Structure 1
Amino acid sequence: MPEVRSYESSNSRTSLPYHSLLNPKIENDEGLYLRDGDAATLRRKFLYGVAVGLFSGLSIILVIYATFLYISNRSVPQTFPPDFPSHPVMFEEDERYAVASSPETDSAWDNLMPAGRGFILVEEPKEYGLRPGLPSVNGPDRYSVSVFHQLHCLGMIRESYNSVLMRVRPHIYGDENLSDSAAQESEKQHTSHCFDYLRQAMMCSADMTIEWAMEMPDGKPPFTVDGWGITHMCRDWKHVLKWMGEHRSPVNISGIA
């Protein structure tokens, strides 16, 4: 009688889905495969490695960015004066600054110049990108603050103007001991400098406040602009004077011109 061979049905053999190739190893009649518990462990290790890699990369980026900011801040000098607050100020006529020279008007102009005559002391000027200032005795160098240089120039022009009106020699600091001819030449050079300096200062500030026409009496049509009654945004002058007092140069000279 012929031998009857029996064959295992293909359905009786262990079926291995594709994803089992990614599982931890298990044994069956076909060999070694992967167990589900070990697969979870491998996934955790993989995710941990990804997290560590991302964290390391982010840390490197942050270190590079912080270094860049540090170098940038070191390469761009900071300014010595703070950013003063601004507030609205309406321009109104003040005759003390508009009429001819008198003890009252001269005092009003001189009082525009703070103690130290517009000069301050700056310690460690190189930190602010400043070149050397005027030497002082046993102290930091002295530096001028532009707005008070501008006021000095305006006072200088006023003094020259009044001297012409009154036909007297102008009272200008530093020219007291000069001869008349030397003082006249000094005044000419000083005034010429001030015209150009004030021109550049006004162009630099470039106040773009819009000014309307001057209101005429009796309802007459306007024909000019005087600038009075117009509100401007201005630095708080009290804060400016306070800061100047805190850093003032020990100069006891008074007067604006």
Structure 2
Amino acid sequence: MLTSHSPSTKQSSSLLISFLFLIIILTTLIYFLQTSSVSFVSPPSSSNSHTSPLSSSTPSIPASLNSLSPLSKTVLFSEHSTYENLSHEYDHLWDELLPQNGGFLRVYDEDVKSNGKENAEGKEGEVQKGKKHKYGITMFHSLHCLGIMRGGVQELFREMEELKMEVEKLKMGKMEDDDDEEMEDDEETESKMRREQKNKRAGGNHGHGHDFGHMEHGDPLHWLHCFDYLRQTVLCTADGTLEPPKADSKGKENVDGMMERQCKDPEELWKLSVESFEATS
């Protein structure tokens, strides 16, 4: 019995090392994201853009939320123990950062723009007049991605705990051949629980499951998209706020970014998203 689990244990050990590196990278990324204010911009219309919006007419947003508008709200950054906790007890807090509709802006597109490629249903990429379309809003997309990544870290910690328990059992010599049947039942139950947890994170009313229209959320590698999306969001915002160092009791300086900042009001975007669905329902 011990021999049959050795390859699995070695493989799990390799995964554990990879998970630790992932957690370090994730922590660094979230720190830098905390030090920036999210840019509220419309989809790019530049010819240099890799993809074009479906319509030549882009929905407008309030002037106060334009990326070039002055910052309008003083916010004191501070530590929040509930948001720094991976317990599922606090999942609802992350869900509540997004409206029920996922944080989209829904509009009727009146203009028609086609890429000229014909198909059986008309021209590919064509927007039909009077049809409802959903636009993503950067703030909500970013929060959605953080939720996806948090869920991934929760899963990694769960698997790490299981690995530690398995190693302890191996050390204690409690895994015996006559337990094969019982272990198979346990593995089947565990596999079912994993599928249920993945489905919970991927859909339903769980905020992290809102579909942004370009990737299926059953994809276990969706968080890779989130890494790259947040990287570009932080660079696009390019927040130059200077964060003074703070000294601890031993005089050692550290920068934690917890200070007053000038920000835009996220409630305006929340209201904009919700009202757009009410107006087009």
Q: For the residues of structure 1 that align with 2:253 and 2:242, how far apart are their CA atoms? A: 16
Report the TM-score, using the length of structure 1 for normalisation.
0.53
Aligned to 2:103: 118
Decide whether the 8 Å contact of 1:120 with 1:144 is kept in 2. yes
Matching residue within 152, 164, 168 for 2:144:
152
Report the CA distance between 1:79 and its aligned residue: 5.4
Partner of 1:192: 224
Deviation at 1:246, TM superposition (A): 1.0
The structure number with the bigger radius of gyration is 1
Partner of residue 226, structure 1: 256
CA displacement at 1:113 relative to structure 2: 0.7
Q: What does residue 56 of structure 1 align with?
A: none
1:203 aligns with 2:235: yes
The corresponding residue for 1:213 is 245
8 Å Cα contact 1:133/1:143 also seen in 2: no
Provide the alpha-carbon RMSD of the alignment: 3.5
Correspondent of 2:62 among 65, 82, 96: 82
Task: Judge conservation of contact 1:133–1:141 (CA < 8 Å) in 2.
Answer: no
Matched, 1:141 2:133: yes
Q: 2:86 matched to which residue of 1?
A: 100
- The alpha carbon displacement at 1:233 in A equals 1.3
Label 1:184 to 1:164 Cα distance change in 2 as closer, same or farther (>3 A). farther
Output the amino acid matched with 2:151: E
What secondary structure sits across from 2:219 in the alignment? helix
Distance 2:217 2:95 in 1: 22
Mapped partners of 1:112, 1:242: distance in 2: 13
Q: Check the 8 A contact 1:87/1:236 in 2, yes or no.
A: yes
Amino acid at match of 2:100: A
Q: What letter corresponds to residue 84 of structure 1 in structure 2? A: S
Work out the CA distance in 2 between the residues paired with 1:225 and 1:97. 19
Percent identical pairs in the alignment equals 30
Distance in 1 of aligned mates of 2:84 and 2:126? 34
- How many equivalent pairs are there? 159
TM-score, L = length of structure 2: 0.49
Specify every segment of 5 or more residues in structure 1 that has no aligned partner in the other structure, as ranges: 1-75, 176-182, 251-257
CA distance in 1, matches of 2:251, 2:100: 46
Report 1 or 2 for greater relative contact order, CA contacts < 8 Å, sequence distance ≥ 6: 2
Letter aligned with residue 241 of structure 1: W
Task: Judge conservation of contact 1:213–1:222 (CA < 8 Å) in 2.
Answer: no
| Contact map agreement 1:133 1:142 (CA 8 A) in 2 | no
Q: Do the aligned partners of 1:123 and 1:141 also contact (CA within 8 Å) in 2?
A: yes
Q: Which residue of 1 aligns with 2:268?
A: 239
Q: Retained in 1: the 8 A contact 2:104–2:136? A: yes
Q: Which runs of 5+ in 2 are unaligned?
A: 1-55, 66-71, 113-124, 160-193, 205-215
Preserved contact between residue 86 and residue 154 of structure 2 (Cα < 8 Å): yes
